[in-house]
Amino acid sequence: MVPSSDYLKSLVDIEAGRISPEIFIDEDIYRLELDRVFGRNWLFLAHDSMIPKPGDFFSTYMGGDPVVVARQPDGSVRAFLNACRHRGMRVCRAESGNTKSFFCTYHGWAYDTAGNLINVPNLSDAYKDRLSLKDNGLIPVARIESYKGLIFGNFDATAPSLEEHLGDLKYYIDGWVDQVEGGIEVLPGVVRWTINANWKLAAEQFAGDTYHAPTSHASSLLSFGPAFEGKDGAHVAFREGHGESFLFKRHTRFSEDPLSVYNDAKLEAARDRVGDRAEFVANFTAFPAFSGLPGSSNIRVWHPKGPNKFEIWSFTVVDKNAPPEAKKAMQVSASFTEGPAGVVETDDGENWGLIGAILEQGHQARKMRWNYQMGDYPATGHEEFPGAYRDSFFGEAGHRAFYRRWLEFMTSEEWPVLTQEERDAFNKPGA
Ligand code: FES
Ligand code: FE
């Protein structure tokens, strides 16, 4: 049964900071989420550097649906459902590569990299030439747009632009990707692993849950230097549903490894380009399911696989023009900390999986309301940093912004457009 808007609103009370865990486990809510959240939002597909040449492709997902992203002969990017128009079989079974066409291994239909159906075996004698190739191309992703090389797709043709959706979060993304000439690139190879929990637990955590770090990551952080405090950073919520929190600067340099040496060497020039943002150690979520870790060389996508299961896809990000030894060091650092067996990542996976198990098996636990009150004081604001800025590293304003937007999507028949007045009221210091 499709959950009613009244029911959904009874589960998510943003003002009180109370959320029912039903939204993390209920099958009907999950099905509606695939339609109204994943079916209408900008979802990260790939970075330009992953598909530089015509014919380059990358296989990924949008919500639960497999899609292929492909560079076209004219340099543009298209994406389409990775499902044959004949019986829905995957037409691309490779993770990535370069091709002139996609060949369905069930009955042999073939499509070009723009998704057009270009060959059907025995077209004349099997179909008596009554099959229109033109009408049987792959289902296209309605919109493809990119920001600083980050390519996103949207199944909803009516959605506002990607840049409008990213809003003030762009300023913080810029602070990461514009630090040096040439920007960033994504190294080959995606690390993927599965967590038995709801995808939103990971998305909300990256939207600003730095509160968990001193406890969950006590063992790994102990080796990184003194514990941090709220005054060492800030958290920012965005009306579009995004969230970010950051330390103003690294407490200690880890060692004399090539990555630290490179980061130190570039700092002055990076500060000239992006100011204080050059030193941020940050995490963010761009609503709904794209997150990044500026400072840890990592971007990731949360792919839902059911109400209580998701896959983490983790990409290593480096400065494009960094020397090879620094790139290698970034890759090692990203795997060491944020890989599936990383010293930080294993802590998070254990938390999410144990919560997922309680919701899967429990009954009383599903009746409670979780607490999302932290940081529910008015925005403090900052003259330089946009968004609803709060002057503590710890806070859940980003979480509440995420679920406010989630609820708007879940309860709206039409695409829930935001006005500038709504954004301004949300960001206003002291409001
Ligand atoms: Fe693809 Fe039949 S399912 S050709
Ligand atoms: Fe963590």
Angle between helices 258-274 and 324-338 (to 10 degrees): 100
pLDDT at 337 over 90: no
Only one residue has tokens 């794209």, namely 290
Give the pLDDT of residue 67.
98
Q: Are 203 and 302 a contacting pair, CB within 8 Å?
A: yes
Residues 198 and 126 in one domain: no
240 and 121, same structural domain? no
> Looking at the structure, do residues 240 and 342 belong to the same domain, yes or no?
yes
Find out whether the beta carbon of 92 lies less than 6 Å from any atom of ligand 1: no
Which residue carries 């949360």 as its tokens?
Answer: 302
Please name which of 15, 42, 50 lies closest in space to residue 143, comparing C-alpha atoms.
42
122 and 240 part of one domain: no
Quick one: tokens of 202? 């990971």
212 annotated active-site: yes
Q: Does ligand 1 come within 6 angstroms of the Cβ of 377?
A: no
State the residue range of the domain holding 15.
Answer: 5-39+167-427
Q: Is the pLDDT reported for residue 390 higher than 70?
A: yes
The DSSP secondary-structure symbol of 50 reads G
pLDDT band at 226 (very low <50, low <70, confident <90, very high): low
Regarding the beta carbon of 109 and ligand 1, being less than 6 Å apart is answered: yes
The answer to whether position 232 is within a domain reads yes
Residue at 150 is within a domain: no
The CATH number that applies at residue 392 is 3.90.380.10
Residue of minimum CA distance from atom 3 in ligand 1: 87
Active site residue 235: no
160 in any annotated domain: no
Residues 136 and 28 in one domain: no
Whole-angstrom distance, CA of residue 320 vs CA of residue 120: 42
pLDDT level of residue 331 (50, 70, 90 thresholds): confident
Residues 212, 285, single domain; the answer is: yes
Are residues 284 and 394 part of one domain?
yes
Q: In this model, does residue 239 exceed pLDDT 80?
A: yes
Q: How far apart are CA 128 and CA 249, in angstroms?
A: 69
Ligand 1 pocket, residue 90 CB under 6 Å: no
Catalytic residue among 56, 112, 209, 319: 209
Residue 221 scores a pLDDT above 80: no
Over range 6-10, report the average pLDDT: 98
> Is residue 154 one of the residues assigned to a domain?
no
289 lies in the same domain as 188? yes
Last residue of a domain, one of 115, 145, 175: 145
Which of 284, 278, 281, 283 lies closest to 224, judged by CA? 281
Task: Give dist(CA 431, CA 55) in Å, integer.
Answer: 51
Which residues neighbour 351 within 8 Å (Cβ) at sequence distance 6 or greater? Answer: 212, 216
Hey, what amino acid is at 202?
A
274 and 255 housed in the same domain:
yes
Evaluate: CB of 106 within 6 angstroms of ligand 1.
Answer: yes
**Tokens found for residue 232:** 């060492």
Strand 233-237 and strand 150-154: the pairing is: unpaired
Q: Establish if 131 belongs to a structural domain.
A: yes
- Per-residue pLDDT tens for 15-52? 999 999 999 999 999 999 999 999 999 999 999 999 99
Give per-residue pLDDT as tens, 159-214. Answer: 999 999 999 999 999 999 999 999 999 999 899 999 999 999 999 999 999 999 88
Q: Is residue 326 part of a domain?
A: yes
Which amino acid type is present at position 205? Q
Evaluate the omega torsion of the peptide bond into residue 429 and state whether it is cis, within 30 degrees of 0: no
* This prediction's pTM: 0.96
- Write the ipTM: 0.98
Pocket test for ligand 1, best of 81, 84, 91, 123 (most atoms within 8 A of CB): 84
Last residue of a domain, one of 80, 111, 145: 145
Count of domains observed in the chain = 2
What's CA 127's distance to the chain center, in Å?
44
The answer to whether residue 80 is domain-embedded is yes
Question: Considering the domain boundaries, does residue 108 fall inside one?
Answer: yes
Give DSSP secondary structure letters for 294-318. Answer: TTTTEEEEEEE-STT-EEEEEEEEE
Confidence of residue 329 (pLDDT cuts 50, 70, 90): confident
Q: Which ligand is nearest to the CA of 104?
A: 1
Together in a domain, 82 and 195: no
Q: Which residue has the tokens 């099959």?
A: 131
Examine the fold and report which residue of 145, 180, 209 is the final residue of a domain before the chain moves on: 145
